[in-house]
Structure 1
Amino acid sequence: MRLLFFKNTLLLTLFVAFSCGSTTTNTIPENESTLDDLIEAGVAVKEDAERDIERKKEATLQNEIIVAAALPQKYFPLLQGKRIAVVANQTSRIGTKTIENDMHLVDYLLKEKINVQKVFAPEHGFRGTADAGELVKDGIDTATGLPIISLYGNNKKPTAAQLQGLDMVVFDIQDVGARFYTYISTLHYVMEACAEAGIPVMVLDRPNPNGRYIDGPILEPVYKSFVGMHPVPVVHGMTIAEYAQMINGEKWLNIGIQCDLTVIPMDNYLHEKNYSLPVKPSPNLPNDQSINLYPSLCFFEGTVVSAGRGTDKQFQIFGAPELPSEKFTFQFTPQSNEGAKYPKFKGQLCNGRDLSEAPQLDKINLEWLIEAYVGYGKKKEFFNDFFTNLAGTKKLQQQIEQGLAPADIRATWAEGLTTYDLMRKKYLLYE
């Protein structure tokens, strides 16, 4: 039908051309193409265009990042016949654009007759709906009947009793590349507990949406906490599997022990690639913009300023009631919502900045933090003790209080970042 339409259209076009042109040229010269030749050439062009489209589709498919969980051929042979536990949350899905039947990793493993014994759940819980910092209780997964053991409740490290009877633990959680995002701390404790119990750990790798750069002050060991356990910068520039290799290789586990670690790489991943997460990694990181701004705006969690919890622009805005409205012109009022039952300044009008349309960052932005500090009237009340845990050092608060410019503060990070990058490169799995 398409060929007939094309042929009729071409005939009409030629008729009009020959009728409206010069009266002395109303036939096709013998040395030019016949009508059938032109039709055949047109069909060939169309077929070439279709082949070009298919080649482009194939190239796009080949360049798509395939998460490790979606590559069962790489890890199923290592799970067969073993009793396993899975460390997982709502991000632990096998689907990509190349897999039509997207499902949770735990459901997929059970469907494929892998012997899953239990699930360990990190901060925010197995389904990812608990508030930041909220204790997560043990329970039973209603979909599978599996026991769920919380690693953000009575204990953040699996106990020997919780690991008893297991042959392997599989870790599959989406990270966002910031030191204070607690999933890498959960990874540390899982590896440590398994090393002590003689149980192997497998990490299924996922992209780091902030993996293009490294930045920030290096954590000083004296300020080690669950929001910062290792001597790395705020933005560490590693995937979760690369980070696991670094934990193991640098012997950061208890008393220098090492874990029997297997990492399953992704296909087609490069650190420079942008990657849009298909599932919210936690309730207050709802989109790509919030994830990109998170390493910069999370510092506000250690101050009197709100980072937008209790709004629909979490980690895309900041503000406080006492910031002057004539300078901080964007206004918002936090209310209870998913992931923020009791947000800072609940029900109070805040003056601040809307960064939801800000350009993408490739370094930590200190200007916003310094601007809020300068604009806040009660300087002594601006920072709280949590700020030091987030920064991993006392120096950043002191530098801001002393009035140092962002460039001068950043200059003090340079030596530490250079040393860290040399260590980091030993554990990279991708270019």
Structure 2
Amino acid sequence: MAFLSSFKSTFFIWFLVFSSCANHEKTKDDVAQTKVQAKDSVVQKPVKVASNRTELYVNDLIGKNVGVVANQTSVIFKAATSDKEAISDSVAYTHLVDSLLALNIKIKSVFAPEHGFRGAADAGEKVNDGTDPKTGLPLISLYGKNRKPTTEQLKNLDVVLFDIQDVGVRFYTYIATLQLVMEACAENGKPIIVLDRPNPNGHYVDGPTMEKENTSFLGMTPIPLVYGMTIGEYATMINEEGWLAGSKKANLKVIPLENWTHETEYSLPIRPSPNLPNDKSINLYPCLGLFEGTNINAGRGTEFQFQRYGASFLDSTQYNFSYVPMPNFGSKHPKEEGKKCFGKDLSQIPRKTEVSLQWIIDSYMNANDKSLVFNTSGFTKHAGTALLQKQIEKGLTEEEIKATWQPQLEEFKKIRAKYLIY
């Protein structure tokens, strides 16, 4: 009996020990789970674009003659949990120009970039001067007779306000417009205020770097294809690196974003140009935009612009996807119009965090006549270098080509780091 009593006593003690340990482990698991739940429950504050932060710039406009560089993306959002939610309501935002006029700001003229003030013109289509039917303001085209504001166009202005949504790709021409406007302001002693907006491709830096001998309106500075900066950060870089003509400096003020970082996934509520209709097209634009320098269709003339590619001269036996480009909004005469194009649908691929060359290499390798692929002059301007076409034609792999970009990318990242705001 004594032995049995001792055994029971010992068993009871061990039971308490194991129970205590089990409860302790459970407590640690509970704490860990609580932390995960707490992390998941953190709500990302809505991004506030600079145009909405009127308190930071309106005093610089009061009592002055103002010129505004703007397009359809230049809006001020009304109260909502997110810009995307706001845009779902047709009255949930107002154009920057309309908002400033309502505040009795004296806007004297509006400068319109490629695609025009309302963003309806085709890529490369000339934009004419005119009058805005809603406000009666004179519209001055920066994609017509001149791409840089003239002294005459600036002489009656006290300040220029720039607010255009960029997508972070070098050959997207809005950053060239920004540079030429800054240049004109520097030459004519006019201050310029840039209202910052998120860069939907601001989460990485990649691609070939622009070479001086290949600069054009599709790339005016020695930056990579994808430069990972907001338009406000980039404006500061242009100014401080001496990239304006004559190494002049503009009297520049950048109004920053709120609640945004370079890792924030931001969905553009308004298409920035006619052929970038959604997040997927914008994310793939750095890769498929290179097709603009070829004879291959990149989805223009369909509802899936920059989400597919194809051509009638690609080997049909290598593809199980085809489509026929036809004239539509933003593409009056698409490449391969009316022809059955063989290629690939990329509308469902995961979000890109690098420039991919696999699709342009694929197209070249599967062309029935390889001489039909490249428009050499156009491709060099888009790539920023004549080397990329030669590398593809020689049969280099994507990895081999991208390895040649690295020295310039590392050098650029050092410069870029000086101007990052977020």
Counterpart residue number, 1:75: 57
Task: Find the partner of 1:265 among 238, 246, 256.
Answer: 256
Partner of residue 408, structure 1: 400
In 2, Cα distance between equivalents of 1:427 and 1:174: 19
Letter in 2 for 1:386: G
Alignment length (residue pairs): 375
Give, in whole Å, the separation in 1 of the partners of 2:323 and 2:153. Answer: 44
Deviation of the 1:164 alpha carbon:
1.2
1:87 — aligned with what?
69
**What is aligned with 1:320?**
311
* 1:425 has 2:417 as partner: yes
Of 344, 347, 350, which aligns to 2:338?
347
1:63 match: 45
Deviations 1:400-427 (A, max 9, x none): 1111100011110111100000000111
Report the equivalent of 1:24: none
Partner Cα distance (2:410, 2:341) in 1: 39
Q: 1:268-417, aligned counterparts within 5 Å?
A: 268-384=259-375, 385-417=377-409
Q: Give the one of 241, 257, 275 matched to 1:250.
A: 241
Shift of the alpha carbon at 1:325? Answer: 1.6
Q: Equivalents in 2 of 1:420, 1:269: separation in Å? A: 22
What SS does the aligned partner of 1:293 have?
A: helix
Match status 1:227 vs 2:218: yes
| Deviation of 1:173 (Å) | 0.2
By how many angstroms is 1:352 displaced? 0.8
2:138 to 137, 147, 166: 147
C-alpha displacement at 1:110, in angstroms? 0.3
Write out per-residue CA displacement over residues 339-379 of structure 1, whole angstroms, 9 at most, x where no aligned residue: 10011111111111000111110001111110000000222
Q: Per-residue CA shift, 1:186-231, capped at 9, x if unaligned?
A: 0000000111000000000000000000000110000000001110
Q: Does 414-423 or 321-330 show the bigger shift?
A: 321-330
The one-letter code sitting in structure 2 at the alignment partner of 1:307 is A
Matching residue of 1:22: none
Which one of 210, 217, 227 corresponds to residue 236 of structure 1?
Answer: 227
* Alpha-carbon shift at residue 80 of structure 1 (Å): 1.1
Q: Which runs of 5+ in 2 are unaligned?
A: 1-36, 87-91
What is the Cα deviation at residue 381 of structure 1? 2.7
In 2: Cα distance, 1:381 partner to 1:319 partner: 13
1:106 corresponds to which of 97, 100, 116 = 97
Counterparts of 1:428 and 1:276, CA distance in 2: 21
Q: What's the RMSD between the two structures over aligned residues? A: 1.5
Is the deviation greater in 273-282 or in 371-380? 371-380
TM-score by length of 2: 0.87
Matches within 5 A, 1:151-190: 151-190=142-181
Equivalent position of 1:33 in the other structure? none
Structure 1 counterpart SS, 2:109: strand
Report the 3-state secondary structure (helix = DSSP H, G, I; strand = E; otherwise coil) of the residue aligned with 2:322. strand
Deviation readout 1:151-197 (Å, 9 max, x if unpaired): 00000000111111100000000000000000000000000011100
Q: 2:124 aligns with which of 133, 155, 160?
A: 133
Name the counterpart of 1:40: none
Counterpart of 1:148 in 2: which secondary structure? strand
Distance in 1, matches of 2:274 and 2:384, equals 24
Q: How does 1:43-62 map to 2 (within 5 A)?
A: 60=43
Unaligned 5+ segments in structure 1 are: 1-51
Cα distance between partner residues in 2 of 1:105 and 1:288: 23
2:8 aligns with none
Task: Output the TM-score relative to the length of structure 1.
Answer: 0.85
Letter in 2 for 1:305: I
